[in-house]
Amino acid sequence: MIYRMLVLDIDGTLLRSNFRMDKETRGAIDYVRKKGVYVTLASGRNFPSTKKVAKALKLDGYLISQNGGFIAANQDEPFFESHISREDTNKMVSILENYNCHIRLVHERFSVGNQVQQKNQLVARLTLGAGDPLFYPVTFTENLSHHVLEKEITPSKIDVQFFEERERRSAEQHLKNHFANFEYTSSTKCNFEITSPNVTKANALRMLGLKLDIAPEEMVAVGDSHNDREMIEMAGLGVAMGNAPDDVKHAASWITRTNDQLGVPYMIKEVFRKQLRVGLY
């Protein structure tokens, strides 16, 4: 099989646990691009943050951000965008405000979160948002559900971080009882993320593949979290990071090293070293 596309998650995959990128990773991506392979990112991050990482890798093509809710090469000309309606967002937030959790409404141009009482490292990381660019506005409000209606907020994704697993399970089930068709997944411990029905990284990848005339079996998809599992299963070669949970590893056809052990460059050299430049076959 000739692989024509490489799809990479960011956090826990491209980046080390300290959110830094190894020079070996940059070099490996340059190596595979020189073989004519289309490299893209598929992330739960907002679009500006995803674009920031892409620029560091000299990627100027389409990017999948917000768990598939926004696909674009540049912010002003999206190929695909999906937003949760103001009414549904308000109802979901009203339910979540009954739980002890941090809520973040993620839009491609800004994010809005609720204010929480506890001040610990877990909340601080979510509040700051890993990799948020300086020009990406992040605001917080005491009454988030009211703010949604007043400002007509329509996010692509809702991130929710809990302090206890029991509360997380209860809140997720509560929401599913009222919004069963929406997509629920997770990328970190004790959290879940909500997108509109059928909005996933995998479905975004299918759309992008159709646009670029690249079939799923010609793709290599790499990730480490539950929100990567479906695209790992869909791709011709689905790769799980060594730091991925067991169910994600079981969904993969190949397991590489961890993100702190140069897992991406190791995988690229092993998979692509014998492949000639795309177009030479």
- For residue 281, pLDDT over 60 is answered with no
Predicted pLDDT at 129: 54
Q: What is the per-residue pLDDT for 280?
A: 53
Q: What integer pLDDT is reported at residue 120 of this predicted model?
A: 54
Residue 97's pLDDT is: 96
Q: 88-102, 129-143, 199-213: which range is least confident on average?
A: 129-143
Task: Name the token pair of 243.
Answer: 């730091």
Q: Which pLDDT score is estimated for 122?
A: 47
**What tens digit of pLDDT does each residue of 149-193 get?**
999 999 999 999 999 999 999 999 999 999 999 999 988 889 999
Among 49-58, 91-100, 109-118, name the one with the lowest average pLDDT: 109-118
Say if CB 187 and CB 226 are below 8 A apart. yes
Tokens of 140: 């917080």
Q: What is the DSSP string of 226-270?
A: GGGHHHHHHSSEEEE-TTS-HHHHHH-SEE---TTTTHHHHHHHH
pLDDT for 125 equals 46
> What pLDDT was estimated at residue 265?
98
Whether residue 95 contacts residue 174, with contact meaning beta carbons closer than 8 Å, is answered with yes
Confidence of residue 131 (pLDDT cuts 50, 70, 90): low
Instruction: Determine the residue type at 99.
Output: Y
pLDDT average, residue stretch 204-210 = 98
Predicted confidence at residue 135, as pLDDT, reads 81
pLDDT tens column, 218-270: 999 999 999 999 999 999 999 999 999 999 999 999 999 999 999 999 999 99
The predicted model scores a pTM of 0.93
> Residues with Cβ < 8 Å from 210, sequence gap 6 or more?
none
pLDDT exceeds cutoff 50 at 94? yes
Q: What pLDDT is stored for residue 189 in this prediction?
A: 83
Overall average pLDDT of the 106-122 stretch: 79
